[in-house]
Amino acid sequence: MKKPLIHTFKVDRLNPCDGSFVATSGTRDVGGVTEAVTGTLKGDQVAFNAIYTGSDYGSEIGYKWGTQSSGALGTSIPAWDSIGTPFSVTVTANLTDSTHYKNHGEYVKATGGGDDAAHSCIGMPVGSGR
């Protein structure tokens, strides 16, 4: 049986407002591959697209792949690639939150303010206190 390739994505930005994420430091366990990844993680549902940005094998650079739709973490999810190979992926996650804000005001202040920070949901309560 062929050993599966293992890709590791270090999520650089996870937007708790819409579940979108960006991982600019993805790697593959074989061939010195680095990849840029975008996707979503909402609850246990994940979807992503990736592109190889570097490799020990120059012909791999620019290769694209990802999930065909969202699927549950830890299950087999149908995937696609830029050369038309049918396959599936199993995604696991080990997420730790390295940013802790007491409230929305603390987040806005920490980021230097501005419209983007003010309109972000980061630090806002999940539900109304009324």
- Model pLDDT for residues 12-47, shown as the tens digit of each residue: 777 777 878 888 778 898 899 999 999 988 888 899
Q: What is the pLDDT of residue 22?
A: 83
Q: Tell me how far apart the terminal alpha carbons of the chain are, to the nearest angstrom.
A: 58
Q: Which of 106, 107, 98, 100 is nearest to 12 (CA)?
A: 98
Are 51 and 62 in contact, with CB atoms under 8 Å apart? yes
The three-class DSSP label of residue 116 is helix
Q: How confident is the model at residue 124 (pLDDT cuts 50, 70, 90)?
A: low
pLDDT for 74-122, tens place per residue? 999 999 999 999 899 999 877 655 556 666 677 677 677 777 666 666 6
- Quote the pTM value: 0.71
Residue 53 structure tokens: 């940005």
Task: Let me know the angle formed at the C-alpha of 68 by 64 and 70, rounded to the nearest 5 degrees.
Answer: 120
- Greater model confidence, 82 or 3: 82
